[in-house]
Structures are given as C-alpha cells and as structure tokens.
Amino acid sequence: MTDEQWDKVIDVTLNGTFRCARAALRRMKADGHGGVVVNNASVVGWRAQAGQAHYAAAKAGVMALTRCAAVEAAAYRVWVNAVSPSLAMHPHLVKVTTPELLAELTEREAFGRYAEPWEVANVIVFLASGYSSYMTGGTVSVSSQHP
C-alpha cells in the first residue's frame, strides 16, 4: 500500500466523517434543540481483511470518534452512534471489488448473501429516531458475518 492510498482513504473516510459530524454538532449546539448524528463505520473496523489496513484503521477511527463525540455532545441533548455494516451491496462496491472477492465475502455471511441497502437503512432510521434516545456512543453491527 502506498502512502497516497493510505492518506486518501484516511482523509475521505475518517477525516470526512469528523468534518461532517463537527459541522452537524456545531449547528445542533447553536440551535439548542438536541439532535442525532449517525456515523457510518464498518465491521472491518473490528475484523481484519487482507489489503484493507487503511480502511480498517479509518473505520475503527470512526468508531472511536463516535464514542468521543457522544460524550461531548450529551450536554447538548445530542446522541451520536454509528452503524457498522458487513457486506452491503451498492454500485461503488462493484466498481472497486473483483467478482472473486465479492463471492468470497458473500460466502462468509451467515445468510449466504449481502445486505440490501434498505436493511442497513432500517438500522440508521432506528438510530436516528426517538426509539434510540438512551443510546449514545455505540456502534451497531448490521451483519450476518461469521468468522
């Protein structure tokens, strides 16, 4: 992995999440009405995958950022959580992943298939709703992955 590859993934994935969360939290703090931030992590932040050190480090960083932001935002009635999908199909994934790797990753899933985007979105909706009002600083796995 080159420095450029490492830097790009860390910048987009971790620094981008930080900047978006910071902007949202500043606005929520100023508004004084509370709110919710849901960050996008990945099970790769917990599990190793060959060739994905930059992505794993960035997603683990998103999880840590979520925990820290939750502590800081609680005083403003804002809860901060993250969703951590395993294999969720989307057009970008198809562009950057070989069919062989997709088959291997799909095989690791307990249900033998990837998640549909709506299955991940349902968890995000839950985290953004009042049903999760006592949850903050957590990362919810949306995964059927087994070791």
Active site residues: 55
Cα–Cα nearest to 106, from 12, 11, 97, 9:
97
Output phi, psi for 38, to 5 deg: -120, 115
Instruction: Answer yes or no: are the C-beta atoms of 52 and 9 closer than 8 Å.
Output: no
Token pair of 70, please? 């939750």
Nearest-10 crossing angle of helices 16-31, 53-73: 10
What stretch of H or E contains 129?
none
